[in-house]
């Protein structure tokens, strides 16, 4: 049996790695095709000015024992527990997230605080239920005023559409049960029972950067006698009688196989399938991804601000998030008196920002950083730009119906498994993608029937609960 895995991000690597551990003993072959020159996808780590930096902030956290065991298998003891500090930057002040009532009231001032509380009370007394859009969902939990201050600007920067067009699923995944009422109760009753479960106070982080895990996965796959092809893009999957038979690469070479695990963008995968029904083609055309531009700035100084990353809620700035790599683990940064910051901006392929030159983007990053005042008078010595196409699946209202049409069609194809943020059109964290890859491999090798589409849809609980601590895996 031969399996071709398309895409070398967390999901694809987890699938290939899990399959490779069994392949030699069972006469199986595994090939992983990655279109870029390196593995890791959005979770790769790059060398920049003598520093190791990620593509924005990538914290790993899971309570799923299978995922944590897989991660530790690769990390060994080469990780640290990082104390998480991520705040909202708004009008020159810093607000903790999840919102801490006393911190928020102090920063907003008494007049604005009263307006926010009154707006929340009015919302609760109205009895109106949340609708199916992001704006309605968040307003129902925080009140109109807090929604406009802490959610609207950032979300519309990220997605490029009004929050009334953004599906409430995004809020359900990222905010979950958090509300202003819950935040106030937690302020007066501190403790684990009142803590917001999606925003942990510490997380495990590899000393070589997030990409270290995926570089080690690739090494292990090769060590297990299986193949990884870099700069090899898949053009289409071949079928015969609704069964996978081969994958064709961009050069036209066709490689026979029995299974395909695809983490390439689901839109590109489906468009390449033969004799596509019109309803499926129409569904694919209605899905789209958002691009990311990362502007890295080398700043003279090491104590700019204490956060791992900041959310920028300021409509004057194109930047939506700023990562400070000095505040992760010391192994990332040499003792050179410099800090590397990553400023994230988001756009669609047709936007002028995506087509702008590197020099213009670096200058925009400089201007945004100056407007925040975060670097004060520190000199910005250099800049570097990374463009990441199609990295956020856009949860525009109605997207679930289009995805369902595609799911129903793909379910009729034997031997095809779609996984990952791109491949399944799901706004996954690392842990979700790792679990998808792990279970896809089990479905192939052990002929299990794990529901890959069901991963990252249970917004409340995980199975087989455990945590990673500085000592390793801890049952909870």
Which long-range contacts link 168-174 to residues 24+ away (Cβ below 8 Å)? 168/130, 168/131, 168/132, 168/133, 168/134, 168/136, 168/137, 169/395, 169/400, 170/134, 170/395, 170/427, 171/134, 171/137, 171/138, 172/137, 172/459, 173/427, 173/456, 173/459, 174/198, 174/427
**What are the φ/ψ torsions at residue 465 (nearest 5 degrees)?**
-70, 135
Q: Which CATH architecture has domain 2-41+63-78+206-286+396-459?
A: 3-Layer(bba) Sandwich (3.50)
What are residue 346's DSSP bridge partners?
Answer: 292
Hey, where are the domains in the chain? 2-41+63-78+206-286+396-459, 99-191
Whole-number Å distance between alpha carbons of 39 and 432: 18
Q: How far is 385 from 395, CA to CA, in rounded Å?
A: 26
343 prior amide bond cis, ω within 30: no
Is-contact 354 291, C-beta < 8 A?
Answer: yes
What is the CB neighbour count within 10 angstroms for residue 126?
A: 9
Given strand 86-90, what is the order of strands in its sheet? 93-96, 86-90, 309-312, 321-324, 338-347, 289-300, 380-393
The C-alpha R_g of the chain, in whole angstroms, comes to: 23
What pTM does this model have?
0.91
Structure tokens at 472: 């390793």
Q: What is the pLDDT along the chain (476 residues), one digit of tens a residue?
A: 999 999 999 999 999 999 999 887 778 999 999 999 999 999 999 999 999 999 999 999 998 999 999 999 999 999 999 999 999 999 889 998 777 777 887 898 989 888 988 998 988 888 777 788 999 999 988 889 989 988 899 999 999 999 999 998 887 766 655 666 666 666 566 555 444 444 578 899 999 999 999 999 999 999 999 999 999 999 999 999 999 999 999 999 999 999 999 999 999 999 999 989 999 999 999 999 999 999 999 999 999 999 999 999 988 999 999 999 999 999 999 999 999 999 999 999 999 999 999 999 999 999 999 999 998 888 999 999 999 999 999 999 999 999 999 999 999 999 999 999 999 999 999 999 999 999 999 999 989 999 999 887 654 444 445 677 776 767 66
What is the C-alpha separation between 442 and 67, in angstroms, rounded?
A: 14
Query: CB neighbours of 377 closer than 8 A, spacing ≥ 6?
Result: none
**pLDDT value at residue 312:** 94
Whole-angstrom distance, CA of residue 167 vs CA of residue 233? 32
| Triad 325, 329, 333: Cα angle to 5° | 55
Q: How far apart are CA 389 and CA 386, in angstroms?
A: 10
Q: What is the pLDDT of residue 185?
A: 61
Q: What is the distance between the alpha carbons of residues 114 and 98, in angstroms, rounded to a whole number?
A: 19
Burial of 223 (0-12, 13-18, 19+ CB in 10 A): exposed
CB 309 within 8 A of CB 324: yes
Determine the pLDDT at residue 182: 63
């Amino acid at each position: 049996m031969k399996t071709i895995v398309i895409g070398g991000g967390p999901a694809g690597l987890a699938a290939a790695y899990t399959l490779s551990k069994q392949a030699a003993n069972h006469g199986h072959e595994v090939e992983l095709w990655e279109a870029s020159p390196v593995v890791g996808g959005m979770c790769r780590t790059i060398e920049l000015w003598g520093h190791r930096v990620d593509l924005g902030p990538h914290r790993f956290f899971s309570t799923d024992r299978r995922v944590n065991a897989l991660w530790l298998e690769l990390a060994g003891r080469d990780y640290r527990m990082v104390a998480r500090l991520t705040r909202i930057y708004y009008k020159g002040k810093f607000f903790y997230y999840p919102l801490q009532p006393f911190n928020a009231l102090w920063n907003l001032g008494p007049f604005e605080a009263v307006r926010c509380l009154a707006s929340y009370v009015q919302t609760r007394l109205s009895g109106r239920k949340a609708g199916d859009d992001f704006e309605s969902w968040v307003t129902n939990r925080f009140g109109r005023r807090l929604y406009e201050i802490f959610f609207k600007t950032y979300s519309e920067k990220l997605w490029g559409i009004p929050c009334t067009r953004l599906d409430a699923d995004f809020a359900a995944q990222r905010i979950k049960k958090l509300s202003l009422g819950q935040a106030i109760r937690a302020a007066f009753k501190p403790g684990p029972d009142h803590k917001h479960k999606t925003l942990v106070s510490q997380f495990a982080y590899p000393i070589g950067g997030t990409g270290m895990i995926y570089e080690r996965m690739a090494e292990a796959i090769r060590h297990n006698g299986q193949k990884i092809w870099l700069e090899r893009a898949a053009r289409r999957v071949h079928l015969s009688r609704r069964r996978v038979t081969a994958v064709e690469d961009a050069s036209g070479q066709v490689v026979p196989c029995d299974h395909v695990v695809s983490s390439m963008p689901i839109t590109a995968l489906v468009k390449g399938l033969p004799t596509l029904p019109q309803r499926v083609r129409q569904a694919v055309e209605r899905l789209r991804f958002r691009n990311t531009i990362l502007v890295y700035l080398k700043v003279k100084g090491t104590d700019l601000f204490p956060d791992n990353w900041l959310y920028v809620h300021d409509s004057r700035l194109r930047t939506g998030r700023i990562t400070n790599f000095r505040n992760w683990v010391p192994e990332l940064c040499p003792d050179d008196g410099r800090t590397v910051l990553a400023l994230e901006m988001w756009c669609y392929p047709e936007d002028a920002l995506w087509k702008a030159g590197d020099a213009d983007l670096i200058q925009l990053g400089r201007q945004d950083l100056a407007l925040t005042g975060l670097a004060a008078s520190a000199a910005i010595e250099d800049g570097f730009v990374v463009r990441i196409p199609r990295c956020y699946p856009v949860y525009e209202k109605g997207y679930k119906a289009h995805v369902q049409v595609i799911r129903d069609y793909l379910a009729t194809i034997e031997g095809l498994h779609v996984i990952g943020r791109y491949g399944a059109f799901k706004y996954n964290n690392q842990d979700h993608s790792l679990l998808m890859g792990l279970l896809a491999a089990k479905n192939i090798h052990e002929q299990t029937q794990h529901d890959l589409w069901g991963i990252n849809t249970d917004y409340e609980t995980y199975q087989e609960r455990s945590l990673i601590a500085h000592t390793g895996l801890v049952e909870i």
